[in-house]
Amino acid sequence: MNETRSPYVGLSSRDAFGKALVEVGTADARVVALTADLGSSVRVAEFARHFPERTFNFGVAEQDMMGAAAGLALGGKMPFVTTYAVFASLRAAEQARTDVAYGNLPVRICASHSGLSIGPGGPTHHSTEDVAIYRTMPNMTVIVPADGVEAAAATRAIADLPGPAYLRLSRAKESTVYTMEDHFAIGVANTVRAGHDLTVIACGSCVGRSLQAAESLSQEGIEVQVVDMATVKPIDRQAIEEAAKATGAILTAEEHTVIGGLGSAVAEVLAEAGLGIRFKRLGLQDCFATTAPYEELLALYGLDARGIAQSVHELLAKSQTS
């Protein structure tokens, strides 16, 4: 079989989203893009150059933008709403819930600068609660792609959804996880590395760093399985249960608070399945992140490759002494 390398390899998820949006818009004239004075930052500018009559800038009025997206969807359009994740999940949360999710409308909320990726922007602009917020909204699909390739595939996939979706994008370029685009399906996890000692279930930028951690741990004789849980909702329950039974220990890794996000979702599945394994959630531990360059923040909160490897060591040590 001939394998075709994706043109999105090496791009950040937000850059890949911007290019994929042009593709989606070219294929379907119903696609419209909405932004709140951040067209360049959220990579809608290229879509606007191609389709100026289908691009709408609402200024600093995210709530109005979300409501308008609902109206456009009711009118038969395919709206892609873009802004920073912190604004999409906090400032416009009521409109996303009541105008969009309540009506089960096909609005795609594509939010950039998620997690800690805005770095020096500080706690007012870090978005570490957004997955938890959108996960609780009925009808909402929540996707956190690992890199640009997966972000492009996810952008195409959500275009066909009959209901709303939240697509979480990073400002910083993620490590390359995929070179092809045929792996992605909504609601299906992807095992990107085999291992038998422990499973790391990660989403977003943490997938690439988990792979880096797994490679370093392999040099110590520790073989870690890495699962990309790009779809946080609906979550792949079968993949979680299989990982628990195969390795007996699971570490979740996310650039998000440990409360309500991927770690909570995985814990819920394990508890309901009655699987009493060793388990740890790696993320922000119920705190606001401080202000610092992005890479320093990752190291501070144990979300870089070294920190993930350390958490693996701690969980394995706990397994051996319990």
Q: Is the dihedral of CA 5, 213, 142, 83 positive or negative?
A: negative
Dist CA 302 CA 195 (whole Å): 22
Residue 121's closest CA among 285, 299, 300, 294?
294
Is 62 assigned a catalytic role?
yes
| Residue bearing tokens 């802004």 | 83
Dist CA 131 CA 145 (whole Å): 12
DSSP state of 67: H
Among 46, 62, 220, 254, the active-site one is: 62
Angle at alpha carbon of residue 89, lines to 87 and 92, rounded to 5°: 65
* DSSP bridge pairs for 33: 55, 80
CA 262 to chain centre: 10
List alpha helices for the chain, DSSP H: 13-27, 45-50, 62-74, 85-86, 93-95, 130-135, 148-159, 205-218, 237-247, 262-273, 294-300, 305-321
Dist CA 204 CA 145 (whole Å): 5
Whether 304 and 298 have beta carbons less than 8 Å apart is answered as yes
Which residue type does 103 have? G
> Catalytic positions, please?
62
